[in-house]
């Protein structure tokens, strides 16, 4: 149980294009999902907290107009990187908190490798 | 906000030895402390967690200890195996749910 999927697993795009990444909780409902970014050999940095049916809460320094988050259902959150640039190349990971579980327990997706040329 | 420090950054052990990774946190309101294992190119996998009302938790070869007074917690892996080689992250969270991660420890278990 507690499986989180991400799609795509990797994507290569040209500079200036937009890329959408999906995060799904497969066997549980998640009121809250989180989006992280991880650069090579570094830790996970929280980008934003996504709550179903409401606007996402972004961490300091994360551009909300560049990283659009939509959490339209209890099993799906999407992250859209708009006008991507090479510096946006990174490993993007989502996590989901089961609605029925503890407030802190998070299950992570497998990540999406974004490369912007 | 919360700050989590993790040590060591790299750890090399022989198969069968024990490995210990330590973390300290700054926010006394933190009450949930998970440990994640991350293999190359994959997302983090929860391996064990502990809540602030417990001092120790064990699951087969893996154990976690928590000292709330000193604000530190540790991961103990006994009888290490080559497949334990990975990057390990500690994290701390309050009831709100936001996780703050440590810097990570690269564990290498030599056969």
Contacts of A49 in chain B (CB under 8 A): 97-98
CA distance B31 to A66: 33
Q: Is the pLDDT of residue A104 over 80?
A: no
A57 contacts B96 by C-beta, under 8 angstroms: no
**For residue range A61-100, what is the model confidence (pLDDT) as tens digits?**
999 999 999 988 899 999 999 999 999 999 999 999 887 5
B86 contacts B75 by C-beta, under 8 angstroms: no
Query: What does the pLDDT average to over A8-23?
Result: 97
Residue of B32, B17, B109 lying closest to B73 (CA atoms): B32
pLDDT given at position A55: 87
Contacts of B39 (CB under 8 A, 6+ apart): B45, B86, B87
pLDDT given at position A97: 87
Chain-chain contact of A93 with B44 (C-beta, under 8 angstroms): yes
CA distance A18 to A80: 7
B77 contact A CB<8A: no
pLDDT given at position A95: 95
B86 contacts B107 by C-beta, under 8 angstroms: yes
Per the omega criterion (within 30 degrees of 0), is the bond before B8 cis? yes
B2–chain A nearest CA distance, Å:
12
Choose the mutation target among B96, B97, B100 for the interface with A, i.e. most A CBs under 10 Å: B97
């Amino acid at each position: 149980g507690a499986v989180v999927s991400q799609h795509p697993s990797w994507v290569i795009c040209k500079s200036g294009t937009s890329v959408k990444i999906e995060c799904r909780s497969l066997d549980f409902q998640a009121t809250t999902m989180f989006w992280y970014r991880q650069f090579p050999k570094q830790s996970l940095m929280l980008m934003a907290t996504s709550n179903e049916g409401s606007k996402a809460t972004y961490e300091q320094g994360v551009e909300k107009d560049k990283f659009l988050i939509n959490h339209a259902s209890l099993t799906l959150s999407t992250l859209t990187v708009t006008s991507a640039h090479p510096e946006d190349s990174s490993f993007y990971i989502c996590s989901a908190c089961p609605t029925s579980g503890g407030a802190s327990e998070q299950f992570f997706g497998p990540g999406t490798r974004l490369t912007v040329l | 906000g919360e700050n989590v420090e993790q040590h060591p950054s790299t750890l090399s052990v022989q198969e069968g030895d024990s490995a210990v990774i330590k973390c300290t946190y700054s926010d006394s309101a933190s009450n949930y402390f998970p440990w994640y294992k991350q293999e190359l190119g994959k997302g983090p996998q929860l391996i064990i967690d502990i809540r602030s009302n417990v001092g120790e938790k064990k699951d087969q070869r893996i154990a976690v200890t928590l000292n709330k007074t000193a604000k530190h917690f540790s991961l103990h892996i006994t009888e290490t195996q080559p497949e334990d080689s990975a990057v390990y992250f500690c994290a701390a969270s309050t009831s709100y749910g936001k996780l703050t991660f440590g810097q990570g420890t690269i564990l290498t278990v030599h056969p």
